[in-house]
Amino acid sequence: MLQVVINSVVYASEIAIIAIGVSLCYSILRFTNFAHIQLAIVGGYLAYTFASIPGLPLPVAVLLSAIATGLIAVLVDVIVFSRIRNISPEGKMIVSWGVALFIRSMVAAIYGGSAKVFDVPTEVVVMQGAVFTTLDVTVVAVTLVLMVALHAFLYRTRVGSALRALASNYDLAVTRGIPGDRLIRLMWFLSGALAAVGGSLIAMQTRLQPSLDLIILLPVFAAVTIGGISNVFGAVIGAIVLSFAQNLLVWIDFGMIFTGKPWHIPTQFRDYIAVLALLIVLLMKSSRSTGGKK
């Protein structure tokens, strides 16, 4: 059981950092940015590139990648999304897929399709029958630090409060003198940087390849949906709920309970659990909104 908790926490951390960026973007710009996943991939690849500079420690590489990816995200806003502030949300979603396709393909073109492995020094730890690695600990620690920092930023600084004002009522905040455009760029930077860290961590845990985007697509969006798409820290809660649901359901020996022979849900079916969770949450939302829509 401890193993389940550990696995869940680690996985939730990786997903949460990336999912937060989606909610951040939605809360201010009111559309689901499907290109966000690609920023995580870019972050992973940039971290790999920086890390291959001799003498550059891995954490610095990740930091540099975060900054670079944040800047790329701002660039994307400047070139694309700032021109379409006034189109429908569906339009923005469609455009975000065009951007996603472009970014993904360029990454694959530049780096090639073969998988790359991070050279991360990590040790295995065994504690009370549960197995994890020092990298796992790093992942969770980094996520915690980032969450706390983000929360402090949003709730205890003036700039953070301005961002929250924009999120709750954009037009009103702008008339009160809050610089919407500049803060939007800041939001993109934060989103991109967070995504980069998340992508790097996942790449370090597994492997770095362009198809990583498909692997994290469903869990990230499931987490965002479960937590409520415009709720920034809801994404974190969504990630935790999703991760526990996945790991728990895979761990439970359904076979023993029902037939007396051991049988587990195969781990490949974790994604089904993600989609199932997504569907259940959405169906609950949709039934709550009948008979009284505005």
Stretch near other proteins under the rule CB under 8 A, chosen from 49-57, 153-161, 170-178, 214-222: 214-222
CB 36 within 8 A of CB 216: no
- Least CB distance to other proteins at residue 93 (A): 6
CB of 254 to other proteins, least distance (A): 17
Q: Does 272 bind other proteins (CB under 8 A)?
A: yes
Q: Which is nearer to other proteins, 114 or 128 (CB)?
A: 114
Residues from 19 through 78 that contact other proteins (CB under 8 A): 26, 31-32
CB distance 195 to 18 below 8 Å: yes
If DSSP states are collapsed to H, E and C, what string results for 263-281?
A: CCCCHHHHHHHHHHHHHHH
Asked if 141 contacts 14 with a C-beta cutoff of 8 angstroms, the reply is no
Count of residues touching other proteins (by CB under 8 A): 50
Residues 265 and 270: their CA atoms lie apart, in Å, by 8
- Exposure class string for 243-263: b at 16+ Cβ within 10 A, else e: bbbbbebbeeeeeeeeeeeee
Residues of span 151-170 touching other proteins by CB under 8 A: none
Q: Kindly state whether residue 237 participates in binding other proteins, applying the rule CB under 8 A.
A: no
Residue 81 Cα to chain centre, angstroms: 20
Looking at 64-72, 107-115, 132-140, 189-197, which segment touches other proteins (CB under 8 A)? 107-115
Which one of 6-14, 67-75, 170-178, 263-271 is the stretch in contact with other proteins (CB under 8 A)? 263-271
Q: Rounded distance, CA 34 to CA 219, Å?
A: 13
Q: Which is nearer to other proteins, 153 or 271 (CB)?
A: 271
Residue 171: Cβ within 10 Å count: 9
Of 235, 206, 209, nearest to 222 by C-alpha is 235
d(CA 111, CA 128): 41
Least Å distance, CB 34 to other proteins, is 8
Among 45, 48, 50, 221, interactor with other proteins by CB under 8 A: 221
Instruction: Give the range of 60-68, 147-155, 238-246, 270-278 binding other proteins by CB under 8 A.
Output: 270-278
The tally of CA atoms less than 13 A away on the side-chain side of residue 35 is 27
Q: Which is nearer to other proteins, 143 or 219 (CB)?
A: 219
Which span sits near other proteins by CB under 8 A: 13-21, 126-134, 217-225, 238-246?
A: 217-225
Q: Can you tell me which of 104, 170, 183, 249 binds other proteins, judged by CB under 8 A? A: 104
Among 39, 99, 167, 208, binds other proteins (CB under 8 A): 99
Location of structure tokens 């070139």: 79
Residue written as token pair 């979603």: 93
Integer Cα distance of 285 and 88 in angstroms: 22
Can you give the binding site for other proteins, defined by CB under 8 A? 26, 31-32, 80, 83-84, 89-91, 93-95, 97-106, 108-109, 112-113, 214, 217-218, 221-222, 225, 229, 266, 268-269, 271-272, 275, 278-279, 282-283, 285-286, 289-293
